[in-house]
Every structure is written in structure tokens, then in C-alpha cells.
Amino acid sequence: MGAGVMKKSGGGGRRGRRRGHSTAMSEINVTPFVDVMLVLLIIFMVAAPMLTVGVPIELPDTAANAMPNEEEEPLTISITADGLIMLQSTEVSDVDLIPKLAAIAAERTSDKVFLRADGALAYERVAQVMGALNAGGFNNIGLVTDAGGPSMDGN
């Protein structure tokens, strides 16, 4: 696979000429290495978007358009159907939410946060978490929903 045999062209007279004299080829074949690296690159490019927050909740459907992407990784707060609050993928109690949000807000350049809430939750619970987000220093709250739902005009 790596080393091969290369014929040496001889010169000179009758005495120094031997037929079929060969030396080892010292070049490495990099084609299989490049193939493997390209396959790994494609695998990581496909898998990277799937590594975002993975708290399983049923988002409500809406006809709203998607928000544009930003440079900084978005902060995501999720509320499960049980009412548990998840900061990214870590569970946070109600008492610890505002201090943790204030500490995160001090380190971030953006005040944007995405709020994911299960569709079966009461509006009161979602409003409580939105109030905590505001108290923690995040005033730009984006509600995450599934696209393609019903719109207000009946379509």
C-alpha cells in the first residue's frame, strides 16, 4: 500500500548493466488518508448542528418566520411538561435561576435568549420564567415554536 518497486534506469557499459535491477520506492501514498479525512469532515459537518440543546418537549405550532442566526451560541431556557426549568441542558431550580442568569448576562455580549416551553404548560408558568429572564438581565426573549402551524388568518 505504501511502498512499491521502481525500476532503475541503468547507463554505462556492458559490465555495469543488469536487467531488472529495482530499488524500493520511498514515497507514501496519501490518497487513502485524504479519503478518510474528507469522510470525517462530512460526518462532523452533518453532526454539528444536531449537538444543540436536546431537552425533549412538545413545542406549539405557529406560522411565525424563523429568527436569523448570530455569531454567539444562543442561550436556551427550556421548560418541560413537568414544569422543570433547564438552562441549556442543566436543570435549574426556581430559586437559583435569577442568580445564574445574572452571572451569565455579565459574561455575554448579547442579551438574547431563546425560551422553549412545552405546549401543554400553563401560560402562568411561562410568564413566571419570562419575568425571571427579565430580572436576570435578558430583555431580548425569543419564543421557540415549531413552524408550519396555523395562522390567525385561517390558513
Question: Can you give the residue ranges of every domain in the chain?
Answer: 5-50, 56-147
Neighbours of 105 (CB within 10 A): 17
Note the pLDDT of residue 35: 93
Q: What does 83-114 look like in DSSP terms, one character per residue? A: --EEETTEEE-HHHHHHHHHHHHHH-S--EEE
| 125 vs 64, higher pLDDT | 125
- pLDDT attached to residue 48: 77
Q: Which CATH architecture has domain 56-147?
A: 2-Layer Sandwich (3.30)
> Per-residue pLDDT tens for 72-124?
677 888 898 888 888 888 888 888 888 988 888 888 887 788 888 888 888 88
pLDDT band at residue 2 using 50, 70 and 90 as cut-offs: low
Q: What is the mean pLDDT of the chain?
A: 78
Q: Is the pLDDT of residue 40 over 90?
A: yes
Q: Is the pLDDT of residue 66 over 80?
A: no
